[in-house]
Structure 1
Amino acid sequence: MSYLDCAQYDCCHNKAGCCCLNGIDVHHTGPGNAVCGSYRCNEGYGNAATDNQPASPETDIHCDDKGCRHLEGHCCCADHVSIDECSCGPECATRAPRDTAE
């Protein structure tokens, strides 16, 4: 599990920067970009996460970004993952390019 810090506050799964899901999906969207595929807009209704389980800073992160050094199998091995608001969507700010020597 990774410690998740999410700044996508209009997501219905976000509660005070933590996620109410057991795990999230992060998808590679282009060179240098990966976004949270579990993001769901609360559509202006405030925090709708109360229907989910309690928020936790620790969550499983499933990822398909083969260009990121934190990817092991289909899981993120980073100790701390940040999701930030971005024009491309809820962006994984922890993404780090894989060394070309690997």
Structure 2
Amino acid sequence: MNYLDCAQYDCCHNKAGCCCLNSIQVRHTGPGDAVCGSYRNSEGCGNVATDNPPASPETDIHCDDKGCRYLEGRCCCADHVSIDECSCGPECATRAPKENNG
């Protein structure tokens, strides 16, 4: 499990910076971008966080960003992951490029 700190407060799964989902999906969207694919805007659907299990700072993170050093298989191995508001969407601020060893 990863410790998740989410600043995407307009997401219907966000409750006080924690996520109500047991796991989230992070998608690679560009050369240096990865966004939370589990994000759902609360506008128009209300805050469904009240219908979900209690929010927790711990969640599993599944990812497809092969350019990130924290990717192991299809899971994120970073201890602490931050999701921040960005013009590209709910950006994974923890994303770090793989180091070249060659």
Superposition TM-score tier, normalisation by shorter sequence:
over 0.9
Instruction: Give me the whole-angstrom Cα distance separating, in 1, the residues matched to 2:62 and 2:8.
Output: 18
Matches within 5 A, 1:82-97: 82-97=82-97
Listed as ranges, the gaps of 5+ residues in structure 1 are none
User: Could you say which residue in structure 2 is the equivalent of 1:11?
Assistant: 11
Q: What count of residue pairs does the alignment treat as equivalent?
A: 102
Q: Which residue of 2 aligns with 1:74?
A: 74
Report the AA paired with residue 83 of structure 1: I
Q: CA separation in 2, counterparts of 1:47 and 1:38?
A: 14
Q: Which letter maps to 1:80?
A: H
Deviation at 1:46, TM superposition (A): 5.7
Q: In 2, distance between residues paired with 1:81 and 1:67?
A: 16
- Listed as ranges, the gaps of 5+ residues in structure 2 are none
Q: Deviations over 1:48-70 (max 9, x none)?
A: 31000100000000000000000
Distance 1:48 1:74 in 2: 27
By how many angstroms is 1:100 displaced? 1.4
Task: Give 2:62's aligned amino acid.
Answer: H
Indicate the RMSD between aligned Cα atoms, in angstroms.
1.3
Contact 1:10 1:44 in 2 (8 A): no
State the TM-score, normalized to the length of structure 2: 0.95
Identity of aligned residues (%): 83
| Aligned-pair CA distance for 1:11 | 0.2
